[in-house]
Amino acid sequence: MEEIKIAISSAIQLGGSLYTPDRLKNIGGRLGPNKKVEMTPFRQLYAEVPINQREAITEELERNGLEVNPAGFVTKSLFDYNFCKGAEEARLETAKK
């Protein structure tokens, strides 16, 4: 069965790349127990899915608040800064504007 790699990411939000346990469970449930997921430096999860199931898998993941894009040099998730020193010190209000 031919497969294609997809990039799964959390929606752009304050607080960085947050995956809830329910979202991780949903990803694992759709991929199956024998699949491996790769975490990229761009905070995306790469997973290989059967080409004939790509659309259905994408739709279900998106219904659960995740973003799905082609993997590779096609797209990268947008992220600004983790604000690891605290919102006030990192001037989060300025970043929001």
Q: What is the pTM of this model?
A: 0.71
Task: Quickly name the fold that domain 3-96 has.
Answer: Alpha-Beta Plaits (3.30.70)
Over residues 7-56, the pLDDT tens digits come to 999 876 655 677 889 899 999 999 988 999 999 887 889 999 999 999 99
Exposure of 77 by Cβ count < 10 A (0-12 exposed, 13-18 middle, 19+ buried)?
A: middle
* Residue 95 dihedral angles phi and psi, to the nearest 5°: -65, -35
* Domain coordinates in residue numbering, the chain: 3-96
Mean of pLDDT values over 71-92: 55
The separation between CA 6 and the C-alpha centre of its own chain, rounded to angstroms, equals 10
> How far apart (Å, rounded) are the C-alpha atoms in residues 56 and 58?
5
